[in-house]
Structure 1
Amino acid sequence: MKLLFVADPLEGFKTYKDSTFAMMREAHVRGHELFACEARHLRWQRGGKVTALSRRFTVTADPHDWFVPEARADAVLAEMDAVLMRSDPPFDSEYFYATHLLEQAEREGAKVFNRPAALRNHPEKLAILEFPQFITPTLVTRDGAQVRAFHAEHRDIILKPLDGMGGMGIFRVGPDGLNLGSIIETLNKHGAQTLMVQRYLPEITQGDKRILLIDGEPVPHALARIPQGSEIRGNMAVGGKGVAQDLSARDREIASQIGPILAARGLLLVGLDVIGDCVTEINVTSPTGFQEITQQTGFDVARTFINALERHALAK
């Protein structure tokens, strides 16, 4: 198969932990042809089809000098067997525009994973609102007075921006309400921006679990990202320690309810973030955790994902 990865620059990949790299390596081992471009390389012109200035490449055995590229050339997305949208967040205007170009490519015959419309329809913070039975008390608002009322009710809360990634912009405010006003102003820009507020979950000390769903089915191990020191965030980007662990009965219950629904919408790969018994985010842009889970448990996540990709890409 010919696989086009729409991703961040290959030169910046951290091959020891990058999940997109794990996908590429597994696909290369199977003999698939690999192509890569950035979202900024997508293009459409009347009379033609969506193309991308891309480069074919092969994967080497050297983790530092890991790919050998060919010269860049225009590739028609509809002529690929699969297009994988793996650009990292944030989900900004340019990401939004890229999903529209990818959706046009779908109309021309391309198979895109995850589906562009599904990417747009599942913003990673707000997608949890569809599943209130699995979330902690949550408020989404621009109104500072409503945030204050939420704090008065729940006493210990987390505040976060809707467009953050890697733990960026997350604050905890305890019963004393210290700095609540300043934090509200920082996040809502004096009422100009919407934020999310949630009751603090003390189970974060045991880790913020990443549960990977592949074609609606959960990988049998989660990656618990455990905060270190005085940090309240478990994100690996801010120093959280990743520990793979078997899914709990509650994890499986959550996955069994959410997984098939999202898979039916064209989300081949999803990362559920779960603290304790509650889902806190649904990641669909470029879920990670492949390598850590595989290294610690022996379960080959990349193999499982490429198996699913092949089934869908080769289906009539």
Structure 2
Amino acid sequence: MKLLFVADPIESFKAYKDTTYTMMREAQRRGHAIAVCEPRHLRWQSGGQVMAQVRDIRLTGNEDDWFTEVGTRDLALSEFDAVLMRKDPPFDAEFIYATHLLEQAEREGARVINSPQALRNHPEKLAVMEFQQYLGPTLVTRSPEDVKRFHAEHGEIVLKPLDGMGGMGIFRVGPDGLNLGSITETLNHHGATTFMVQKFLPEIVAGDKRIILIDGQPAPYVLARIPQGSEVRGNLAAGGKGVAQPLTDTDRATALAIGQVLAPRGLLLIGLDIIGTKVTEINVTSPTGFREILDQTGCDVPALFVDAVERAVAR
């Protein structure tokens, strides 16, 4: 297969832990050709197809200097067997524009994973609203008064922006409400921006569990991201410790129920986040955790994913 990865600049990858790198490594091991581009390289002109300036690369096997560039060329996305959208958040206007270009490429015959329309329709924080039976108390608002009432009801809360990643912009407020007004102003930009508030889940001490769903099926191990020291965030980017653990029966049931709804919509890869038994986020843009699970357990999640890509292309 010829695979195109649409991602952040590959020079920024930390190969020793990057999930997209593990996908590329497994794909190359199977003999598939790898090309990369960034969303800014996508373009379309009437009368033609969605094109991109792509870089053909080969992986070296050395994680310090992990790729060599074979060449650069302009190609239509439809010339690839699969286009893998792996751009990290923020889920901003430019991300949305990229999904529209990718959707046009689909109309021209490209196979895009995850589906561009599904990416647009399932913002990572807001996608949880469809599955209320698995949520803890959650509020989406821009109103300070709503936040005050929610805090008064639940005592200890977590506030976070809707377009971030890696734990960016997450605040915990205790029963005393210290700095609640200031934090609200920071997140809602004085009433201009909607954000999310959730009841604090003390089970976070055991980790924020990342479940990898591939074509609706959960991987047999999860990555529990455990906060360190006084930090409330378990995100690895925020200093959390990643510990791979077997998937529990309860979490498997939740993951299967959600996966069976979302996979048919074109979400081949999902990162489902659960604290205790409560779903907190449904990550669809560029879910991570492959490398940590592989290194700690030997469970070859990259191989499971490339298997699924091969099946999707063959359909």
Tell me, in whole angstroms, the C-alpha distance in 1 between the residues paired with 2:308 and 2:236.
27
Moved more, 146-155 or 66-75: 66-75
Q: Secondary structure at the match of 1:191?
A: coil
% of aligned pairs identical? 67
CA–CA separation in structure 1 for the residues paired with 2:30 and 2:253: 34
Distance 1:137 1:52 in 2: 43
Give how far 1:71 is off.
2.5
* C-alpha distance in structure 2 between counterparts of 1:200 and 1:114, whole Å: 31
Aligned to 1:20: 20
Query: Comparing 55-64 with 129-138, which one deviates more in the overlay?
Result: 55-64
What whole-Å deviation, never above 9, does each CA across 1:146-192 have from its counterpart, x for those lacking one? 11001111111111111121111111111111111111111112211
**Which blocks of at least 5 consecutive residues in structure 2 are unaligned?**
none
Q: Within 5 Å, which residues of 2 pair with 1:60-209?
A: 60-209=60-209
Query: 8 Å contact 1:224–1:242 — kept in the other structure?
Result: yes
**1:51 counterpart letter in structure 2:** M
Please give the per-residue CA displacement for 1:13-63, whole angstroms capped at 9, x wherever unaligned.
111000000000000010011111011000111111001100111111211
What residue in structure 2 maps to residue 311 of structure 1? 311
Q: How does 1:33-48 map to 2 (within 5 A)?
A: 33-48=33-48
C-alpha separation in 2, matches of 1:78 and 1:61: 29
> AA paired with 1:239?
G
Equivalence map 1:159-308=2 (5 Å): 159-308=159-308
Point out 4+ residue stretches in structure 1 off by more than 6 angstroms: none
Query: Per-residue displacement from partner, 1:75-119 (whole Å, max 9, x unpaired)?
Result: 111111000000111111111100000000000000000000000
Maintained 8 Å contact 1:42/1:53:
yes
Cα distance between partner residues in 2 of 1:249 and 1:61 = 37
3-state secondary structure, aligned to 2:15: coil
Distance across 1 between alignment mates of 2:124 and 2:231: 22
In structure 1, how many angstroms separate the alpha carbons of the residues matched to 2:163 and 2:16? 27
Q: Please report how far the alpha carbon of residue 249 of structure 1 lies from its aligned counterpart in structure 2 after TM superposition.
A: 1.8
Is 1:53 the counterpart of 2:49? The answer is no
SS in structure 2 of the partner of residue 210 of structure 1: strand
Listed as ranges, the gaps of 5+ residues in structure 1 are none
TM-score normalised by structure 1 residue count: 0.99
Tell me, in whole angstroms, the C-alpha distance in 2 between the residues paired with 1:27 and 1:294.
Answer: 15
Distance 2:43 2:236 in 1: 34
Number of residue pairs matched by the alignment: 315
Q: Residue 8 of structure 2 corresponds to which residue in structure 1?
A: 8
| Cα distance in 2, alignment partners of residues 75 and 314 from structure 1 | 22
- Report the residue type matching 1:103 in the other structure: E
Alignment partners' CA distance in 2, 1:5 and 1:35: 6
CA distance in 2, matches of 1:162, 1:68: 36
Q: Secondary structure at the match of 2:123?
A: coil
Q: Distance in 1 between matches of 2:262 and 2:46?
A: 33
Secondary structure at the aligned position of 1:85 is classed as: strand
Is the 1:213–1:270 contact (alpha carbons within 8 Å) kept by the matching residues of 2?
Answer: yes
Work out the CA distance in 2 between the residues paired with 1:190 and 1:306: 45
Q: Structure 1: how far apart are the matches of 2:75 and 2:254? A: 40
When structure 1 is superposed on structure 2, of 164-173 and 265-274 the one drifting more is 164-173
Q: CA deviation at 1:248?
A: 1.3
Residue 219 of structure 1 contacts residue 301 of structure 1 at CA under 8 Å; is this kept in 2? yes
Write the distance in 1 (CA, Å) between the matches of 2:196 and 2:104: 32
Amino acid at match of 2:42: L
TM-score normalised per structure 2: 0.99
Q: Is the 8 A contact 1:3 1:84 kept in 2?
A: yes
Bigger drift between 103-112 and 177-186 goes to: 177-186
